[in-house]
Amino acid sequence: MKARYILSIVLVSLGLIAAILPQNQNSSLELDAKQLLNEIQVENYVISIDEMANAMINDDPEYQLIDVRSKEEYEKFSLPGAMNIPFDQLFNEEWAPYIDQVARKNVFYCNGTTLASDAWMLTRQKGYKNNYILKGGLNNWYTTIIEPDEPTLTNGQEAMYDYQARLGAKQFFTGAGAADNSSNKKKAKKPVPRRKKKMVAGGCS
């Protein structure tokens, strides 16, 4: 008799706690300040120019370049295969399937680093994964691929390999083999939605 009372009281109080608990499951995805600070320190969200150039030459479907500059800048010059998501439209509904997905590595770039790093910080805080930054942006792209410094003997063998690869990449991006920049712009790959669309509530469908 007494055991039954105790059991019912325990169950009722647990039920009450469960009923009053906050229900926002969404916020568990978002990062708090400490978690975001940890990610900044680990710094595994930066893609080097050499890695990106290699991926582009091999037409690696895993990478999607995203130009976060304005439409005008994008139209004037952009990297082959890049799509344009102007920074001021970052959270527009239409881009959500592109920046919040699990299928590809998105690589944000701008002229330098600020805009791309802004975009990364905002999307990461919201809990989106698979977004990266192109190290040093377009300016670094130019000095690394188009005008690479010739390594001296003291730089070692590895630097020499990198240099050879860069010369090859330069040939690829500027040489006769490279198509005109405008025609080289591939269509952005189709987005892969992260979440299933919500079912239509009510009514007979």
Partner 1 sequence: MKKPYIKLLGLFIAILLIGFLFTSLRSSKKYKFDMSAEELHSELVASNHEMDPNKAWDILSNNNDDYIFVDIRNPREFANFHIEGAVNVPLQRVLDDEFIPYLKNEKKKVLYSNESIKANEIRLLLTQYGYDNLFVLQGGARYWKENMLSKDVFKSRGEYNDNKLKFDPNKMKAQK
Interface with partner 1 (CB under 8 A): 2, 5-6, 9-10, 12-14, 16-17, 21-22, 30, 32-37, 40-41, 73, 76-77, 87-88, 90-91, 110-115, 117-118, 121-123, 125-126, 138-139, 142, 146, 173-176, 178, 180-181
Residue 21 has which token pair? 């608990």
Q: Which of 158/180 has CB closer to partner 1?
A: 180
Q: Which of 43/204 has CB closer to partner 1?
A: 43
Q: Which of 36/160 has CB closer to partner 1?
A: 36
Residue ranges of E strands in 74-179: 83-84, 105-109, 131-134
Q: Which of 142/163 has CB closer to partner 1?
A: 142
Q: Which of 153/176 has CB closer to partner 1?
A: 176
For the CB of residue 10, give the shortest distance to partner 1 in the complex, in Å: 6
Q: Which of 92/155 has CB closer to partner 1?
A: 92
Return the residue matching tokens 């952009």: 78
For the CB of residue 159, give the shortest distance to partner 1 in the complex, in Å: 20
For the CB of residue 65, give the shortest distance to partner 1 in the complex, in Å: 16
Q: Could you say which DSSP state residue 142 is in?
A: I
Query: 147 and 119 in contact (C-beta within 8 Å)?
Result: no
Closest CA to 54 of 146, 175, 168, 187: 168
For the CB of residue 93, give the shortest distance to partner 1 in the complex, in Å: 12
First to last CA, the chain: 52
Identity of residue 10: V
CA distance 44 to 21: 35
For the CB of residue 9, give the shortest distance to partner 1 in the complex, in Å: 5
For the CB of residue 156, give the shortest distance to partner 1 in the complex, in Å: 23
CA distance 125 to 37: 10
CA distance 151 to 123: 37
